[in-house]
């Protein structure tokens, strides 16, 4: 009786197809990581309870120092709201304009301080504007020159009336700030914010 000889080609073809499928999955995973910036993997270092403000490992040393000051103020028995508004505004501006700390254009800084209803539009506007050309830095190899904020000074803060289709606040805050960078790359140095009350929190509704 003749032994049936098994041809190797079908097995080889099956192995090649399997390897190709595995390779496609790997490439898709890499693409998804590059697109998202893997921001979800960034380690959160601290959180201010009741306000849900956080600081992560990618934030600059200056932003981290402002966070500590903000936490100290918000943990007081009686919060000095004007100081709260000042510190929050400084931290927002420092985080937003420190593009060098962003993983890529999707990693928009300061979003946690923006009025919740406006966050989607705020991020979309930032990605189409100042963050549009931020190159991916997921592997820490970016050579692009991007700004890092070294100091934010509150030049004026006052209460004002604010009204929109969905928000009315007779005691909103208007905060004017002057921004200093580690290196002058032509980014904005004068910023004005409008903050409104949302229960015990202050949230940014306007920036110009």
CB 105 within 8 A of CB 134: yes
Q: What is the pLDDT of residues 135-167, one digit of tens each?
A: 999 888 999 999 999 999 999 999 999 999 999
Mean pLDDT of 168-179: 97
CB 81 within 8 A of CB 165: no
- Under DSSP, the state recorded for 113 is G
Q: Which residues pair with 204 in a beta bridge?
A: 114, 195
**Residue 41: predicted pLDDT:** 66
E strand or H helix at 168 = strand 168-181
Mean pLDDT of 91-118: 96
Mean pLDDT of 171-176: 98
Q: What is the pLDDT of residues 55-68, one digit of tens each?
A: 999 999 999 999 99
Q: Which residues pair with 203 in a beta bridge?
A: 196
Mean pLDDT of 196-207: 96
Q: Which residues pair with 198 in a beta bridge?
A: 201
E strand or H helix at 150 = strand 149-163
Look at residue 9 and tell me whether its pLDDT is greater than 90.
no
Q: Where are the alpha helices (DSSP H) in 37-151?
A: 61-74, 81-97, 119-128
**Residue 42: predicted pLDDT:** 75
Phi and psi at residue 181, to the nearest 5°: -110, 155
Mean pLDDT of 104-117: 96
Mean pLDDT of 11-38: 52
Residue spans of the domains in the chain: they are: 9-37, 45-207
Mean pLDDT of 81-98: 98
CB 99 within 8 A of CB 146: yes
Phi and psi at residue 76, to the nearest 5°: -70, 150
Q: What is the dihedral of CA 175, 109, 189, 124, to 10 degrees?
A: -90
SS3 state at 184? coil
Tell me the pLDDT band of 17, cut-offs 50, 70 and 90: low
Strands (E) located in 9-85? 44-48, 53-56
CA end-to-end span of the chain, whole Å? 89
- What is the distance between the alpha carbons of residues 89 and 156, in angstroms, rounded to a whole number? 11
């Amino acid at each position: 009786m003749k032994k049936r000889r098994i041809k190797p080609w079908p097995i080889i073809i099956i192995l090649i197809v399997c390897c190709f499928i595995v390779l496609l999955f790997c490439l898709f995973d890499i693409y998804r990581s590059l697109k998202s910036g893997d921001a979800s993997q960034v380690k959160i270092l601290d959180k201010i309870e009741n306000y849900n403000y956080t600081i992560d490992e990618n934030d600059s040393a200056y932003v981290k120092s402002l966070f500590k000051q903000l936490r100290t103020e918000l943990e007081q028995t009686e919060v000095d709201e004007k100081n709260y508004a000042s510190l929050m505004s400084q931290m927002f501006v420092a985080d937003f304009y420190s593009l060098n700390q962003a993983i890529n254009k999707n990693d928009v800084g300061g979003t946690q301080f923006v009025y919740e209803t406006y966050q989607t539009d705020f991020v979309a506007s930032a990605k189409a504007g100042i963050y549009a050309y931020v190159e991916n830095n997921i592997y820490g190899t970016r050579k692009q020159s991007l700004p890092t904020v070294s100091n934010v000074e509150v030049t004026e803060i006052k209460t004002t009336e604010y009204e929109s289709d969905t928000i009315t606040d007779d005691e909103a805050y208007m905060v004017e700030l002057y921004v200093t960078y580690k290196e002058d790359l032509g980014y904005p140095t004068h910023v004005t914010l409008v903050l409104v009350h949302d229960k015990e929190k202050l949230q940014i509704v306007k920036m110009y």
